[in-house]
């Protein structure tokens, strides 16, 4: 099999970022029929931007397809993502609409009940990189840094259309850790955005120091005598919670999804895409980008 360059997009990261970027400036773009399209428009522009940047041979979008209550991780920990608010009513209809746009580009939309977009991208990157393909993941979630390898790079979305590009070398240079340590750092520091508890009183700096000194979480717990009495007591008291956090933060890489690489080839019929753009009244700036 010839080596391909595959761009994997975190659909929810793109869609939410596109929505709030335009909503912040009051740009609730609508069609003449009153259909909200601001998130879809921004998503489409971002997808084209990253396709131009990466120049992939193939492109796939991974999606969350379940409510919080039905997530696999919510079965492990009832508090997982319990702080999430319902999406704005202007955004809700755009969840389906954006998939109509990606389908017009002949881009596969992949998801699986109970799993999150990260798990979809993790599964794809694991399978496809093992076949020798080069993978580029575009997402807003730093958890994806655990997927970085010599075959897999990650672009973390930032404001203003910018991003941070991570390889094993840049991850070590910027954050001082290797991909295998990303989850263990998160296990200790927790994550308030996802309600992952971690160990109370341990922040990112301390978590990173502990993991880089000991190598991994198991080695840390196997050598607690090297810690200060206060730190040892804290880690012992919250051991179960820390290991639960490790489980919650670990991207699942064996989600049962069906796809073919050929169906993900980044080739599209300009006429089909333009017809969808016209239907959504996207305007000339995007239309001219698709030929």
Kindly report, residue by residue over 177-196, the tens digit of the pLDDT.
999 999 999 999 999 999 99
179-249 CATH fold = DNA polymerase; domain 1 (1.10.150)
Q: What is the pLDDT of residue 161?
A: 84
Contacts of 246 (CB under 8 A, 6+ apart): 183, 184, 186, 187, 217
Judge whether residue 199 has pLDDT over 60: yes
For the entire predicted model, the pTM comes to 0.95
CATH code, 5-176+251-290: 3.40.50.1010
Q: State the greatest distance between any 2 C-alpha atoms of the chain, in Å, as a whole number.
A: 68
Q: What is the pLDDT of residue 116?
A: 95
Q: Which whole-number Å values give the CA distances from 222 to 148, 185, 215, 219, 242, in the listed order?
A: 27, 16, 11, 5, 14
159 vs 59 pLDDT, higher one: 59
Kindly report, residue by residue over 248-268, the tens digit of the pLDDT.
999 999 999 999 999 999 999
Q: How many CB atoms lie within 10 A of CB 291?
A: 10
Kindly report, residue by residue over 230-252, the tens digit of the pLDDT.
999 999 999 999 999 999 999 99
Q: What confidence category does residue 167 fall into, taking pLDDT thresholds of 50, 70 and 90? A: very high
Judge whether residue 1 has pLDDT over 60: no
Judge whether residue 29 has pLDDT over 70: yes
Closest CA to 276 of 109, 110, 102, 107: 102
C-alpha torsion angle, residues 231, 234, 235, 240 (rounded to 10):
180
Alpha helices in the chain (DSSP H): 11-24, 38-54, 72-76, 94-104, 117-130, 168-175, 182-189, 204-214, 217-221, 229-237, 239-249, 270-279, 284-287
Q: What confidence category does residue 85 fall into, taking pLDDT thresholds of 50, 70 and 90? A: confident
The predicted model gives 69-86 an average pLDDT of 89
Q: What is the pLDDT of residue 160?
A: 83
Q: What is the pLDDT of residue 283?
A: 86
Q: How many CB atoms lie within 10 A of CB 172?
A: 16
pLDDT mean across residues, the chain:
95
Residues of the chain with CATH 1.10.150.20: 179-249
Q: What is the pLDDT of residue 22?
A: 83
Q: Which whole-number Å values give the CA distances from 141 to 95, 102, 205, 251, in the listed order?
A: 19, 21, 19, 11
Q: Decide: helix, strand or coil at residue 214.
A: helix
Q: Decide: helix, strand or coil at residue 249.
A: helix
Judge whether residue 26 has pLDDT over 70: no
% of the chain surpassing 90 pLDDT: 88
Q: What is the pLDDT of residue 3?
A: 82
Q: What is the pLDDT of residue 25?
A: 65
Residues of the chain with CATH 3.40.50.1010: 5-176+251-290
The predicted model gives 134-160 an average pLDDT of 96
The predicted model gives 51-72 an average pLDDT of 91
Judge whether residue 24 has pLDDT over 80: no
């Amino acid at each position: 099999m010839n080596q391909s360059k595959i761009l994997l997009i975190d659909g929810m990261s793109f869609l939410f970022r596109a929505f709030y970027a335009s909503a912040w400036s009051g740009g609730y773009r609508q069609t003449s029929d009153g259909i909200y399209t601001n998130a879809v428009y921004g998503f489409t522009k971002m997808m084209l931007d990253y396709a131009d940047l990466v120049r992939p041979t193939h492109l796939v979008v991974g999606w969350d397809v379940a409510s919080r209550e039905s997530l696999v991780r919510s079965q492990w920990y009832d508090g997982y993502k319990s702080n999430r608010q319902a999406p704005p009513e202007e955004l809700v209809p755009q969840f389906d609409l954006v998939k109509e746009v990606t389908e017009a580009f002949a881009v596969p939309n992949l998801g699986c009940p109970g799993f999150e977009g990260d798990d979809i991208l993790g599964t794809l990157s694991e399978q496809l990189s093992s076949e020798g393909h080069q993978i580029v993941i575009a997402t807003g979630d730093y958890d994806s840094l655990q997927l970085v390898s010599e075959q897999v790079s990650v672009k973390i979305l930032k404001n203003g259309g910018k991003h941070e590009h991570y390889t094993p070398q840049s991850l070590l240079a910027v954050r001082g850790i290797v991909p295998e340590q990303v989850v263990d750092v998160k296990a200790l520091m927790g994550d308030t955005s996802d309600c992952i508890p971690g160990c109370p009183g341990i922040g990112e700096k301390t978590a990173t120091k502990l993991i880089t000194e000991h190598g991994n979480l198991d080695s840390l717990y196997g050598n607690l005598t090297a810690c200060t009495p206060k730190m040892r007591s804290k880690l012992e008291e919250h051991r179960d919670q820390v290991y639960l956090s490790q489980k919650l933060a670990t991207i699942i890489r064996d989600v049962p999804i069906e796809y073919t690489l050929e169906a993900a080839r980044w080739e599209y019929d300009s006429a089909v895409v333009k017809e969808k753009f016209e239907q959504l009244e996207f305007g000339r700036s995007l239309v001219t980008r698709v030929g």
